[in-house]
Amino acid sequence: PGVQLSITEFYRSS
């Protein structure tokens, strides 16, 4: 259940 978020939604490319 629920939607899996992606890690790239939280942290920017450096």
| Count of residues engaged in binding another protein, rule: CB under 8 A | 14
Distance, CA of 14 to CA of 8 (rounded, Å):
11
Distance, CA of 14 to CA of 3 (rounded, Å):
26
Q: How far is the CB of 13 from another protein (least distance, A)?
A: 6
According to CB under 8 A, which residues from 1 to 14 bind another protein? Answer: 1-14
Residue 11 structure tokens? 């942290």
Residue 1 structure tokens? 């259940």
Q: How far is the CB of 14 from another protein (least distance, A)?
A: 3
Residues that bind another protein (CB under 8 A): 1-14
